[in-house]
Amino acid sequence: MTQRIMIPLIPVTKKNSSQIIWNKSLKRPMLIPSKIFTQYQQDCGIYLKNVDPFLDPCNLECKFYMPTRRRVDLSNLISAISDVLVHYGILIDDNSKYIKGYDGSRVFYDKESPRTEIVITEFEEKEEEI
């Protein structure tokens, strides 16, 4: 089974723009997503509302098309989109039991059409993994 998703929004990382807040009830600082990521996650919902959940172990191939040539961390982009897919129930979880690999994931430049193209493919186990 293969599922293709296109999110026509400028890709956003989660890690580089987090906020630290003081949690009064826990009496300690907490790291929360930035307003930019929170808005991005909310906006992604429009494009994910009709996507069926993918329940099997999979390969998550993500192609990120950025509007500038500025360097960006691929692993941070992958982490952010994985969290979005889990948030909307497309994936059960983003741990290694469900996402077996990110083969084919890349960052590209497209000034006119920034977006994220996702291909979720069923993973066939060949070796015993952790």
Which tokens in the block code for residue 20?
A: 């630290």
Count of domains for the chain: 1
Give the per-residue pLDDT at 99.
95
- Say if 129 falls within a structural domain: no
- Say if 98 falls within a structural domain: yes
Separation between Cα atoms, residue 5 and residue 57, nearest integer Å: 17
- Say if 99 falls within a structural domain: yes
Look up tokens 């493919």; give the residue: 121
Give the per-residue pLDDT at 34.
80
- Say if 43 falls within a structural domain: yes
Looking only at the bridges linking them, the beta strands covering 106-109 and 115-122 are unpaired
- Say if 23 falls within a structural domain: yes
- Say if 81 falls within a structural domain: yes
- Say if 127 falls within a structural domain: no
What does each of the 130 residues of the chain score in pLDDT, given as a tens digit? Answer: 899 999 999 999 876 666 676 778 878 887 667 888 899 999 999 999 999 999 999 999 999 999 999 999 999 999 999 999 999 999 999 999 999 999 999 999 999 999 999 999 998 776 666 6
- Say if 55 falls within a structural domain: yes
Residue 113 · residue 7 · CB < 8 Å = no
Containing structural domain, residue 41: 2-122
Look up tokens 């172990």; give the residue: 57
The CATH number of whichever domain residue 24 belongs to comes to 3.30.1330.70
Separation between Cα atoms, residue 10 and residue 46, nearest integer Å: 14
Strands in the chain per DSSP E: 2-7, 19-23, 28-32, 58-66, 99-101, 106-109, 115-122
69 dihedral zone (left: phi>0; alpha: psi -120 to 50; beta)? alpha
Cα separations in angstroms, 40 against 27, 120, 125: 29, 20, 33
pTM to 2 decimals? 0.85
Model confidence pLDDT, tens digit, residues 24-34:
887 888 766 78
